[in-house]
C-alpha cells in the first residue's frame, strides 16, 4: 500500500500494460518477494521490457520498472534469465534518456550492481560498456552520495572479471572514483565501495601502475583516517594497499607516505577481523621487502608486536602465519633487529607456525629462513 502511494499506477493503454502493472504491483508488495523466483519463469521479464520500451519517455514508469528489476535481480536464480534477455540494455537506455533523474540513476546503478553478481552477466555487461553509463551517472550526480556509493559498488562487481579490469583501467575509472571519495569524505558507504572498487582494479598489474602514478594511496590513507571504526573501509583500503605494493615504485611511494602508520592503527582497532589482519600483514611484508626506510620505521614503531598478536590470535590461519613469517624474515635480515625480535620471543611463534602448518611448503621455507636469522 505504501509503495502504491509513492508510485501511483500509470495509465494503462492495453492488456500488455495492464499485465505489466500487475507484475509491478505484485513484486513491490514485500509479502510477495518470496514468489519472485517462480514468477521469473513466466512472461514477467518480457512484459516488463515491453512496458518499459513503450513508455521510455515517462520518468515515473522508468523509475518504477528499474526499481523492480533491481528487486528481481537480488535473487540468484533471477539474474541469469534477466541477463539472457538483455534487460541491461533497457536499463542503459533508461539511464541515457533520463540522465538528469537522480532516482532513475540510483535505481539503475543498483539494478546493474545486482545483475553483475552473476559471472556471466559480469562479462556480458562489461562488453556492453555499462561502466560508461555508471561513470556518466557519477559525473552528473556528483553530490548524491547514494548514487556514488551504488555506482562504485557496481564498478567493484564489474572488476571481478579480468577483461573488465582492463576495460575500466583504460577508461581511467579510478579518477572518477577519486572524485567520489574526495567529495564524500564523511560517508563510510561511499568510501567502502570506492576503496573496494580500487582494490579490484588493482588486481590488474597495469592498473597497479596507473593507481600508483595517480597517487591513489593518499586517498586511501585519508579514508582510513576518517573512518577508523569502519571495518569495511579499513579492510578494503588495506587490500588495495597490499596490491599496490606489488610494484617497486609503489612500494617506495607508500613507504615515503608512511602508510604503515595507518596499517598499524587498522590492525590494532580490528584485531578479530581475519581478512584485515591478512591484508595488513601482507602489506607490511611487501613494504619491508628491500625497503630499508620502511623496515627501520616499522621496527621503531614496534609494529612487529601487532603481527605477533595476529599470529597468536589466528594460529590456524595459514595465510596469517605464512605472511607473518615472511615479514619477520625481512626484519631479521638486519642484525640490529634480531635482538629486539628475540626479546619478543618470536622463536616460539615461528615454531608454532611450523608445527601447525607442516604441510604448507611455502610457510615452512619462509619460517625456517626467519629462524636462520634468529
Q: Is the pLDDT of residue 7 over 50?
A: no
**pLDDT one-digit tens code per residue, 56-93:** 999 999 999 999 889 888 888 889 888 988 999 999 99
Write the CATH number of the domain with boundaries 1-156: 1.25.10
Burial degree of 334 (CB within 10 A; 0-12, 13-18, 19+): middle
Burial degree of 261 (CB within 10 A; 0-12, 13-18, 19+): middle
Q: 21 or 145, which is more confident?
A: 145
How far is Cα 207 from Cα 214, in angstroms, rounded to an integer? 10
HEC string of the chain equals: CHHHHHCCCCCCCCHHHHHHHHHHHHHHCHHHHHHHHHHHCCCHHHHHHHHHHHCCCCHHHHHHHHHHHHHHCCCHHHHHHHHHCCHHHHHHHHHHHCCCCHHHHHHHHHHHHHHCCCHHHHHHHHHCCHHHHHHHHHHHCCCCHHHHHHHHHHHHHHCCCHHHHHHHHHCCHHHHHHHHHHHCCCCHHHHHHHHHHHHHHCCCHHHHHHHHHCCHHHHHHHHHHHCCCCHHHHHHHHHHHHHHCCCHHHHHHHHHCCHHHHHHHHHHHCCCCHHHHHHHHHHHHHHCCCCHHHHHHHHHCCHHHHHHHHHHHCCCCHHHHHHHHHHHHHHHCCHHHHHHHHHCCHHHHHHHHHHHCCCCHHHHHHHHHHHHCC
**Helix 44-54 / helix 87-97 crossing angle, nearest 10 deg:** 20
How far is Cα 322 from Cα 296, in angstroms, rounded to an integer? 22
**pLDDT one-digit tens code per residue, 26-51:** 555 544 443 444 445 456 777 788 88
Burial degree of 284 (CB within 10 A; 0-12, 13-18, 19+): buried
Write the CATH number of the domain with boundaries 233-374: 1.25.10
Closest to 283 measured CA to CA, from 226, 327, 319: 327
CB atoms within 10 A of CB 120: 12
pLDDT at 15: 55
Q: Is the pLDDT of residue 6 over 80?
A: no
Structure-block grid coordinates of residue 366? 619462509
How far is Cα 147 from Cα 118, in angstroms, rounded to an integer? 21
Mean of the per-residue pLDDT values of the chain: 89
pLDDT at 10: 42
How far is Cα 239 from Cα 276, in angstroms, rounded to an integer? 8
**pLDDT one-digit tens code per residue, 299-350:** 999 999 999 999 999 999 999 999 999 999 999 988 888 888 888 789 999 9
CA Rg value for the chain: 25
How far is Cα 111 from Cα 121, in angstroms, rounded to an integer? 12
pLDDT bin (cut points 50, 70, 90) of residue 215 is very high
How far is Cα 27 from Cα 241, in angstroms, rounded to an integer? 42
HEC string of 211-227 equals: HHHCCHHHHHHHHHHHC
Classify the C-alpha dihedral 166-207-149-277 as positive or negative.
Answer: positive
pLDDT at 374: 80
How far is Cα 60 from Cα 79, in angstroms, rounded to an integer? 24
CB atoms within 10 A of CB 185: 15
| Mean pLDDT, residues 184-204 taken together | 98
pLDDT bin (cut points 50, 70, 90) of residue 248 is very high
pLDDT at 50: 85
Q: Where are the domain boundaries for CATH 1.25.10 in the chain?
A: 1-156, 233-374
| Mean pLDDT, residues 204-216 taken together | 98
Question: What backbone torsions phi and psi does residue 271 show, to the nearest 5 degrees?
Answer: -65, -25
Amino acid at each position: 500500500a505504501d509503495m502504491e502511494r509513492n508510485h501511483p499506477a500509470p495509465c494503462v493503454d492495453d492488456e500488455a500494460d495492464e499485465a505489466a502493472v500487475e507484475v509491478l504491483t505484485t513484486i513491490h508488495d514485500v509479502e510477495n518477494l518470496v514468489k519472485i523466483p517462480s514468477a521469473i519463469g513466466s512472461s514477467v521479464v518480457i512484459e516488463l521490457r515491453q512496458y518499459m520500451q513503450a513508455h521510455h519517455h515517462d520518468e515515473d514508469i522508468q523509475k518504477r520498472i528499474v526499481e523492480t528489476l533491481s528487486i528481481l535481480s537480488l535473487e540468484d536464480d533471477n539474474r541469469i534469465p534477466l541477463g539472457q534477455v538483455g534487460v541491461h540494455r533497457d536499463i542503459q537506455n533508461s539511464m541515457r534518456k533520463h540522465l538528469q533523474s537522480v532516482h532513475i540513476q540510483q535505481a539503475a546503478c543498483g539494478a546493474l550492481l545486482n545483475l553483475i553478481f552473476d559471472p556471466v552477466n559480469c562479462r556480458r555487461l562489461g562488453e556492453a560498456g555499462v561502466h560508461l553509463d555508471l561513470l556518466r551517472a557519477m559525473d552528473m550526480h556528483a553530490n548524491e552520495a547514494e548514487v556514488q556509493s551504488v555506482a562504485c559498488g557496481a564498478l567493484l562487481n564489474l572488476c571481478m572479471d579480468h577483461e573488465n579490469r582492463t576495460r575500466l583501467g583504460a577508461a581511467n575509472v579510478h579518477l572518477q572514483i577519486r572524485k567520489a571519495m574526495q567529495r564524500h569524505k564523511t560517508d563510510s558507504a561511499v568510501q567502502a565501495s570506492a576503496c573496494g572498487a580500487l582494490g579490484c582494479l588493482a588486481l590488474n598489474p597495469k592498473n597497479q601502475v596507473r593507481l600508483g602514478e595517480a597517487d591513489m594511496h593518499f586517498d586511501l590513507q585519508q579514508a582510513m583516517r576518517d573512518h577508523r571504526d569502519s571495518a569495511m573501509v579499513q579492510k578494503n583500503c588495506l587490500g588495495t594497499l597490499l596490491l599496490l605494493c606489488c610494484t617497486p615504485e609503489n612500494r617506495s611511494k607508500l613507504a615515503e607516505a608512511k602508510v604503515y602508520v595507518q596499517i598499524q592503527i587498522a590492525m590494532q582497532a580490528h584485531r578479530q577481523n581475519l581478512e584485515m589482519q591478512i591484508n595488513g600483514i601482507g602489506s607490511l611484508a611487501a613494504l619491508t621487502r628491500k625497503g630499508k626506510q620502511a623496515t627501520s620505521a616499522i621496527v621503531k614503531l614496534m609494529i612487529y608486536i601487532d603481527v605477533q598478536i595476529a599470529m597468536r590470535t589466528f594460529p590456524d590461519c595459514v595465510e596469517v602465519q605464512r605472511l607473518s613469517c615472511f615479514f619477520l624474515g625481512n626484519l631479521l635480515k638486519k642484525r640490529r633487529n634480531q635482538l629486539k625480535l628475540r626479546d619478543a620471543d618470536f622463536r616460539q611463534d615461528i615454531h608454532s607456525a611450523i608445527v601447525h602448518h607442516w604441510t604448507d611448503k611455502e610457510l615452512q621455507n619462509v619460517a625456517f629462513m626467519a629462524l636462520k636469522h634468529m
